[in-house]
Amino acid sequence: MTEKVELDGWGLLYKKGRRAKYPNEMLIRFINNTFPYTEDISRNKIKILDLGFGTGRHLVYLASEGFSVDGVEISEIGFQIAKDWLSDLDLTALIQNQSLMEINLEEQAYDAVLDVACLQHNNYDQMKVIVDKVYDSLKKGGHFFSYLKSINDSHRLLGLKIFDKTYSYSNIIDKVDAQTIITFTDIDDVKNLFNKFKSVEIEKEEWTYDGMQKVISHWVISAKK
């Protein structure tokens, strides 16, 4: 699958109106626990990178909270929506329209890097490459928050398997028809992905739908360099 297909697919999804407004609750908890308000540290001195920011919901949240924010997004349409949203609110973030596999991240630049359901849209080998890039980009003691599809998620059974852990969803489910691939991980996969980090906390968030017959399941990972 080419990058152009991914760009067109995500753009189509955003054109359909899929533009999340509110930040992920688990991310909010991570930010509040990791960077609580204090009189000693100004939040604008805390530099955070948002991977795959989509249409910008977390950029807006973080900038509104006073952090110094960077972001990268593969979709041209998502990038423009986020740029306009930030401008409308008179908020500032340094954002790039680029693939995570191609982007060069400055070493030891960030206090935290955030991934909310972006990393999972790569195959497992690519995920490992990106996590290693993130590790290098973090300051000593920096944090990586990641929110990944777990192997328990019912969507795994609806996709077309194209790699060992990776499934394609083109024209299968309306909500994810433009999400080119999803990689579902088990606990050992997650531990391997983050094995460079000094400490890793792994939790799981799950809820059911269709009368408790189906499950949405995500790993909630907080890793420290």
In a domain, 179, yes or no: no
In a domain, 156, yes or no: no
At how many degrees (to 10) do helices 57-64 and 25-34 cross? 30
Q: What is residue 45's DSSP assignment?
A: G
What pLDDT score does 6 carry? 42
CATH number at residue 106: 3.40.50.150
Give the pLDDT of the chain (225 residues) as one tens digit per residue. Answer: 334 334 456 666 666 666 678 999 999 999 999 999 876 678 999 999 999 999 999 999 999 999 999 999 998 989 999 999 999 999 999 999 999 999 999 999 999 999 999 999 999 999 999 999 999 999 999 999 999 999 999 999 888 899 889 998 876 655 554 557 899 999 999 999 999 999 999 999 999 999 999 999 999 999 999
Domain that holds residue 94: 3-149+186-224
The contacts of residue 80 (CB under 8 Å, 6+ apart) are none
Contact call for residues 132 and 203 (beta carbons, < 8 A)? no
Q: What is residue 23's DSSP assignment?
A: P
In a domain, 180, yes or no: no
* Structural domains of the chain, count: 1
> Could you tell me how far CA 180 lies from the centroid of its own chain?
15
> pTM for the complete prediction?
0.90
What pLDDT score does 158 carry? 87
In a domain, 69, yes or no: yes
H/E run at residue 69: strand 68-73
What pLDDT score does 11 carry? 65
What pLDDT score does 133 carry? 97
In a domain, 82, yes or no: yes
Residues comprising the chain, all counted: 225
Secondary structure class of 101 (helix, strand, coil): coil
Q: What is residue 65's DSSP assignment?
A: T
In a domain, 26, yes or no: yes
For the four alpha carbons of 15, 93, 117 and 28, in that order, the dihedral sign comes to negative
In a domain, 165, yes or no: no
In a domain, 173, yes or no: no
What pLDDT score does 101 carry? 92
Secondary structure class of 105 (helix, strand, coil): coil
3-state per-residue secondary structure call for 139-186: EEEEEEEEEEEECCCHHHHHCEECCCCEEECCCCCHHHCCCCEEECEC
What pLDDT score does 160 carry? 87
